[in-house]
Structure 1
Amino acid sequence: MSQNQQAVYVCAIVEGKLWLPNAQLPCMPLSRLSFSASDTLVVGHYQGVPVVGLFNCNSMLPVDELAGLRDLLALLPAPLFALVGRVVQLDVMRQQQAFCGRCGQRAGFDVKAVAMWCEHCHRFDYPRVSPCVIVAVRDGKRLLLAQHPRHKTGMYTVIAGFVEPGETLEQCVAREVKEETGLSVTNIRYMESQPWAFPSNVMMGFLADYAGGDVKPDYEELTDAQWFDMDRLPPVAPEGTIARRLINASCALARS
């Protein structure tokens, strides 16, 4: 059976958003689509079903069928969400790396190399991924949580930030916590990572213990930061996020 005839997860990108009819990721043969795309790429498989990215879709899809990747965060299993996120990150590459970084000529998407290709100077430009750390800080049965200006629902989460040049991941953890909350931490240990397509990051998760200081939020970055009793947490990051897994792991450690 050809790819056009077998059912696939369709990740159609239209002006930076995904086509989500009925608020779901469609799974159907490509032959049933009413539109075409300039480039098509299989980014992986989920339970044996191909996950296909369609870029530059020639479509006039209804606006109410287009949505951001975050709408799928709580709906998709983590492995499938990561593959859809890869499609979104490749779309970001196509937009942000559309011109060669060496000679300035327009570059094209090379599906085989999964990179931008400059025919003028024969240079590949691969997707840019920014490393970030994210850390849950615990003091006994208290958990440090912060709120960002973008959190309009009152949600709290753990501390995160971008790794700087020449910095180890552990140094970044200590610096970000200090800069954003005024606290010092110790016993920094790695837990797990998660690709984070907002827009092109990889989040490396850590646990850490409180070492000293008073909470003094950086109000240029945060709207609030404080200690919370683990038995009385505020609304926190949703399931499916590495932030939530770090919070859950910290609570489990406190109860052990």
Structure 2
Amino acid sequence: MLKHSLTLRSVPQAHWFVVCQGKLWLPQAQIPFGHWADFGLSEPEQLCQIGEWQQHPCVLAVYQDQLTEPEQWQNARMLLVHPEPHWFELAARATQLALFMQTHRYCGQCGCAMRLVSWELAMLCHQCGHRTYPRISPCVLVAIRKGDQILLARSSRHKPGFFSILAGFVESGETLEQAAVREVAEEVGVHIGNLRYAGSQPWPFPHSLMMGFYADYVSGDIVCQEDEIAEADWFRLNELPEIPPEQTLSGQMIRYLQQEFDKAQ
């Protein structure tokens, strides 16, 4: 059983996921291992065990000091290309939990201080008993196929030439499938059908859970949503632009449709 609430004295040698201002401390571009005293860092604000690797604990340290040597503090995305995928998964967990702990220092019900409990991942107010759990924001990804083409779009936040499948957050009261249909219609004016579940991936920007669907084109012409989609088009599956890396769920879904197309030729 994981010991969620820890003290520095109780932690032996560990893999340390040090998070400050949403960034990870990655000296030598890797998760540091050892005793906290070995690193020359001041005492962290909060500690939480988030897993184990090779019989050593993996510990989140929420850090509040100014970022010295800023080149050593990186986005968790840097670990996406690591040959061991568990490091990105743990880094994603660490950055999400750090945000949760930092934004729930005080009770939203009575205003008193909250503390991380030891038996589960939750913040508890010992004054009124209010308990809060880490937030997860469900988001759907939709890969739409029309014959030998796939619909790809470029967000206004992405660089020119980089395209991906459509994505959007699930609203209150919606099923995942309803959210997928609505988001596609809103973002590009296209109607879809025959949704099939593809898979899921936690995404720590800042606390999303991505859930992917394959869908078939039904009708409609592309009309991009203003201020959200910079451009969108149908691309032949054997002539794709720059797409997300294969470590991402969106990249995996695009490549899967590409492989299915190749098999059919």
Q: Is the pair's TM-score, using the shorter chain for normalization, greater than 0.5?
A: yes
Say yes or no: does 1:144 pair with 2:148: no
Within 5 Å, give how 1:1-256 maps onto structure 2: 4-6=11-13, 8-35=14-41, 36-56=43-63, 61-75=68-82, 77-152=84-159, 154-256=161-263
- Could you tell me whether the CA contact under 8 Å between 1:5 and 1:31 is conserved in 2? no
Partners in 1 of 2:67 and 2:152 — Cα distance? 43
Cα shift at 1:111: 4.7
- Could you tell me whether the CA contact under 8 Å between 2:15 and 2:33 is conserved in 1? yes
Cα shift at 1:219: 2.4
Q: Classify 1:104/1:154 alpha carbon distance in 2 versus 1 (closer, same or farther; 3 Å).
A: farther
Partners in 2 of 1:227 and 1:171 — Cα distance? 23
Partners in 2 of 1:48 and 1:252 — Cα distance? 38
Q: Classify 1:154/1:77 alpha carbon distance in 2 versus 1 (closer, same or farther; 3 Å).
A: farther
- Could you tell me whether the CA contact under 8 Å between 2:156 and 2:230 is conserved in 1? yes
Structure 1 letter corresponding to 2:201: Q
SS of the residue 1:131 aligns to: strand
- Could you tell me whether the CA contact under 8 Å between 1:51 and 1:84 is conserved in 2? no
SS of the residue 1:40 aligns to: strand
SS of the residue 1:255 aligns to: helix
Partners in 2 of 1:106 and 1:153 — Cα distance? 46
Cα shift at 1:149: 1.6
Cα shift at 1:89: 0.5
Partners in 2 of 1:140 and 1:9 — Cα distance? 48
Identical columns (%): 37
SS of the residue 2:161 aligns to: coil
Partners in 2 of 1:169 and 1:131 — Cα distance? 8
Partners in 1 of 2:97 and 2:179 — Cα distance? 27
Counterpart of 2:4 in structure 1 is none
Partners in 1 of 2:10 and 2:112 — Cα distance? 34
Structure 2 letter corresponding to 1:144: L
Runs of 4+ off more than 6 Å: none
Over the aligned positions, Cα root-mean-square deviation in angstroms equals 2.1
Structure 2 alignment gaps of length 5 or more: 1-8
Cα shift at 1:57: 5.2
SS of the residue 1:251 aligns to: helix
Cα shift at 1:186: 1.1
> CA offsets per residue over residues 159-201 of structure 1, 9 Å max, x none?
1111111111111111111111111111101011001111011
Aligned length: 254
Moved more, 28-37 or 180-189: 28-37
Partners in 1 of 2:54 and 2:166 — Cα distance? 34
SS of the residue 2:45 aligns to: strand
Partners in 2 of 1:30 and 1:22 — Cα distance? 16
Cα shift at 1:238: 1.5
Partners in 2 of 1:56 and 1:212 — Cα distance? 51
- Could you tell me whether the CA contact under 8 Å between 2:156 and 2:227 is conserved in 1? no
> CA offsets per residue over residues 54-107 of structure 1, 9 Å max, x none?
113557631221122122222353332111111100111122223212223332
> CA offsets per residue over residues 132-152 of structure 1, 9 Å max, x none?
111111111101111012212
Partners in 2 of 1:66 and 1:215 — Cα distance? 40
